[in-house]
Amino acid sequence: MRVLTLGTGAGRPTLQRHTSATALEYEGETFLFDCGEATQLQLIRSPLKWGKLTAVFIGHLHGDHLYGLPGLLGTLSLGERQDLLRVFGPAGLKEYLRVHQETKSLWINYPLEVVEIEAPGLIFETERYQVFCAPLSHLIPCWGYAFRERPRPGAFDEAKARELGIPEGPERMDLVRGRAVKLADGRVVAPEGLVGPPRPGRSFAYCLDTRPCPEALQLACGVDLLVHEATFGSEYREEAHQWGHSCAEDAARAAREAGAKRLILTHISQRYTEPQILLREARREHPDSELAEDLQSFSVP
């Protein structure tokens, strides 16, 4: 499981930073959070297998989070995609895409499900994970997201399995899933002693664009990795809040109060030619903070 910050700038693209887009790679699936201009070019430059894209989550309808979506959807058609793609976002997203299709600027030849979010809570789940949303505090309706893996099986004792002569393959998988297995010599082996206690699932939260708000803390509660906007430094705090944004100190305080283990700062204003000042500000509140660059990868072990 890893997070790739594809676009880390605010408002408009620069030579150093593309507009907002973050990808989550999880067990062979890819999830995209926001899709700013030229996101598909960043995906091409990345190591992601983006043909395995499962879902896209759009925070709000400002262009720096959205303008890349029609191009990406169209390129997937050119690539002869056949699998269902789900796109989640605020009210108005269906109309936005409908206009592109009706004017023939967007052609989609695969199953596409566009879900306009109506209320906070669980919006997508499988046997392995759940995705939650909550409203953030921006100038227009804006959603933040949290990806939470369900509890994982305990660690498997490979050395002991070799001692017992358990072959690699389905027998070991059954043991990990808590089922006893019968070996070729007739022995029955139980998972006890071979599989440790269940491990907590991994988690990731995405909070762009927003002023400080309780809902961001809810999404980020206890997550392994929080990607949070840090558009400005604290010297522009009043301006940031006026325009529905956070400064780096706000992001770090949210991470600390929510108990997030790691914080990734993104959505950096182009006025910061030396953005390390934002990182220093954040680390005063949350020492395990990092400043994202385009195409940077962060593992979630």
With a CB cutoff of 8 Å and minimum separation 6, the contacts of 111 are 83, 84, 85
> What's CA 169's distance to the chain center, in Å?
31
Q: Which of 64, 209, 250, 294 is catalytic?
A: 64
Burial label for 43, CB within 10 Å (0-12, 13-18, 19+), is buried
User: Are the CB atoms for 48 and 25 separated by under 8 Å?
Assistant: yes
Task: Please enumerate in sequence order all residues whose Cβ is within 8 A of that of 255, keeping only pairs 6 or more positions apart, or say none.
Answer: 220, 226, 228, 262, 263, 285, 286, 289
Percent helix, strand and coil across the chain, each to the nearest 5: 25, 30, 45
Q: Inter-axis angle of helices 276-283 and 248-258, to 10 degrees?
A: 30
As a whole number of angstroms, the distance between CA 176 and CA 173 comes to 5
Is 294 a known active-site residue?
no
User: What is the Cα–Cα distance from 68 to 38, expressed in whole angstroms?
Assistant: 5
The residues, ordered by sequence, that sit 6+ positions from 99 with a Cβ below 8 Å of its Cβ are none
Q: How far is CA 129 from CA 89, 149, 297, in A?
A: 19, 4, 21
C-beta of residue 258 within 8 angstroms of C-beta of residue 295? no
The set of catalytic residues is: 64
